[in-house]
Amino acid sequence: MFSYKGEAMHHFLKPFIAFCLTVTSTTIVFGQSAIDVSAEGNFTENLQEALILAEPDSVIQLPAGRFELATALSLDVDGITLRGAGMNETVLSFKGQVAGSEGLLVTSDRVRLEAFAIEDTPGDGIKAKGVDQISMVNVRVEWTNGPVATNGAYGLYPVESTNVLIDGALVKGASDAGIYVGQSQHIIVRNSRAEYNVAGIEIENCYFADVHDNVATHNTGGILIFDLPNLPQMGGHTVRVFDNQSFANDTVNFAPEGNIVATVPRGTGLLVMANNNIEVFGNEFSENASANVLLAAYPREYNDPSYNPLPRGVYVHDNTYGRAGFDPDMQVAELIAPLTGVPIPDIVWDGAVDGIWSAFFGPDEEDRIVIREAEGVTFADLQFVKGMILPWDVSPNFNISEYAGTRAPIMPVKLAQEAE
């Protein structure tokens, strides 16, 4: 808000600044470039004023407490750290929100959101759009009335952004995806927990993402890697999903009708759809009633000639599998179970490929589905395309050894905000 040089300027401005801050109910900690948001008076006005008036590269500090906000918040100043006292200590409740939909919208670069919670927004919890270097660390977004269709769509929602970090987050109750990163590049989602969402963690139309050391449980689907047509960024690729736990994803799908995630079967551990160059390893999958791992083509009609609806270059290896496929739902019950029987195999590929040659002789090497798992892991290639050509003489291929092999590992994602 102010710039000054030397002690003389400091003493000259200090009385004026003190007067201004009495009006705005904020305080500045000199030497730390920090703004303490006051809990006294109108907290919404105090906080939004701090977000608007803060100088770039400032810290805005939120007090402990529970605060009711009636309007959405926005931040468009670069380099801001917005920090609370903890995800259970600083709670911003939007249950009575009457203006705006999301809780907080960020449109500036080099922003760090840390140690606070947002609850019960009518729309998305925290959205960042078109930004570079957005970090969401130890934040919680929750709809406290449980999983219902009237909840907001997304909990944490960075889109069309670069250098995205989500670390130590907790999201519950999103009617689309709890942790969602869309049309973005260079992404890390780690050490986070997603519960009671339709999709726990979703990476959509993104390039270069690491999803690791997370827990996805009691969602409809645990982890989703999607690519959709007719979007500004398509051709999702180069994603690592590793060292996660995706188990007991048992919530009935509560997405609003027409949403693509409304088609996700209850009890899906991991769904990779229409993406390229995906590595899945070191994860623990269990107690997912439809299937532990599904590899599938985009299931709807589309009119985008540049779109590739097939999963390609997927490498699944060295994961741990528990019980699954014991109570299939939706398409898994209707289309897969009649072919494979119940329980559904641990890993199911729909067998959708790009033509007759691939249907009979397999995809090109770079597009192959490669499976390298321990003995006893079950697998099925449903051979859907081959079945459309020869419907009278095709059944699933359960021979996992025919899909064995290795691929060069995908390199780790490095983010600008974590550069040494």
In a shared domain, residues 268 and 380 = yes
Phi-psi region of 235 (alpha: psi -120 to 50; beta: other; left: phi over 0): left
Check residue 387 and give its pLDDT.
56
Task: Please report whether residue 141 resides in a domain.
Answer: no
Check residue 386 and give its pLDDT.
60
Cα–Cα separations (whole angstroms), residue 96 to 48, 49, 70, 263: 17, 20, 6, 31
Q: Which of 221, 136, 232 is nearest to 176 (CA)?
A: 221
Check residue 408 and give its pLDDT.
96
In a shared domain, residues 214 and 116 = no
In a shared domain, residues 112 and 235 = no
Name the one residue in this structure whose structure tokens are 């188990």.
Answer: 247
Question: Tokens in use for 14?
Answer: 């200090």
Task: Please report whether residue 174 resides in a domain.
Answer: no
In a shared domain, residues 225 and 370 = yes
In a shared domain, residues 241 and 388 = yes
Task: Please report whether residue 201 resides in a domain.
Answer: no
pLDDT average per 10 residues of sequence, the chain (420 residues):
33 35 40 82 95 96 97 97 98 93 96 98 98 98 97 98 99 98 98 98 98 99 98 98 99 94 97 98 98 96 94 97 98 96 97 70 85 98 72 83 96 93
Task: Please report whether residue 133 resides in a domain.
Answer: no
Check residue 352 and give its pLDDT.
82
Number of C-beta neighbours around residue 65 at 10 A: 13
Last residue of a domain, one of 88, 123, 158: 123
Task: Please report whether residue 188 resides in a domain.
Answer: no
Task: Please report whether residue 200 resides in a domain.
Answer: no
pTM for the structure as a whole: 0.91
pLDDT tens across 340-390, in order? 999 999 999 998 877 665 656 677 888 999 999 999 999 999 987 665 666
Structural domains counted in the chain: 2
Task: Please report whether residue 176 resides in a domain.
Answer: no
Check residue 11 and give its pLDDT.
36
In a shared domain, residues 228 and 365 = yes
> Which residues have C-beta within 8 Å of that of residue 391, sequence separation ≥ 6?
none
How does DSSP classify residue 360? H
- CA 403 to CA 310: how far, in whole Å? 17
* Residue 35 domain boundaries: 1-123
In a shared domain, residues 270 and 410 = yes
In a shared domain, residues 267 and 386 = yes
In a shared domain, residues 249 and 397 = yes
Let me know: does 355 contact 337? Beta carbons within 8 Å: no
Check residue 86 and give its pLDDT.
98
Number of C-beta neighbours around residue 229 at 10 A: 18
Last residue of a domain, one of 123, 139, 170: 123
Check residue 340 and give its pLDDT.
97
In a shared domain, residues 251 and 379 = yes
Last residue of a domain, one of 97, 123, 149: 123
- CA 397 to CA 392: how far, in whole Å? 15
- CA 240 to CA 314: how far, in whole Å? 10
* 88 membership: H or E segment, kind and range: none
In a shared domain, residues 230 and 352 = yes
Task: Please report whether residue 178 resides in a domain.
Answer: no
In a shared domain, residues 214 and 357 = yes
